[in-house]
Amino acid sequence: MEVMSVLLVISSVFAVLAGLVHVYIFFLESVAWTSPRVRRIFGIASETEAQATRSLAFNQGFYNLFLAIGALLGVVLVLAGNTASGWTLVVFSTASMLGAAVVLVGTGRRYLNSAFVQGSFPLIALLFAFLGSTFGV
């Protein structure tokens, strides 16, 4: 059995954290969208606006869920010894999460905090995956 480097373990931990954040985002967007708390989080001014955007948020939530599943399943595959498929999923999923955060930053300054929350863990996971695969420490 091959021992995973410390850097790749750190990458895996942050990929799991990124996945969990995106499961939470799925919940907010696809399950709890019209609640007053979620409306405040996303800056939705009224119940009418929340209802009008509900189907869009529902769909967007599932994108987040699928990215989370990819990251989490990738880590499970890595731990099970299927490293090529596992790391492919981890890198693809976390890179997609990071890409979405970059797009969010481009949408306006009011989304900087959300983009930071959405993109920090994937960025760290990718950085350590790169370092671990390059230096193997």
Q: How many domains is the chain built from? A: 1
Q: What is the pLDDT of residues 19-59, one digit of tens each?
A: 999 999 999 999 999 999 999 999 999 999 999 999 999 99
Does residue 97 lie within any of the structural domains?
yes
Quote the pLDDT of residue 1. Answer: 47
Quote the pLDDT of residue 137. Answer: 67
Does residue 15 lie within any of the structural domains?
yes
Quote the pLDDT of residue 2. Answer: 61
Does residue 109 lie within any of the structural domains?
yes
Does residue 118 lie within any of the structural domains?
yes
Concatenated DSSP letters of 18-60? HHHHHHHHHIIIIISTTSHHHHHHHT---HHHHHHHHHHHHHH
The residues of the chain scoring below 70 in pLDDT are 1-3, 137
Q: Are 130 and 20 in contact, with CB atoms under 8 Å apart? A: no
Quote the pLDDT of residue 60. Answer: 96
Range of the domain at 99: 6-135
Does residue 83 lie within any of the structural domains?
yes
Quote the pLDDT of residue 58. Answer: 97
Does residue 1 lie within any of the structural domains?
no
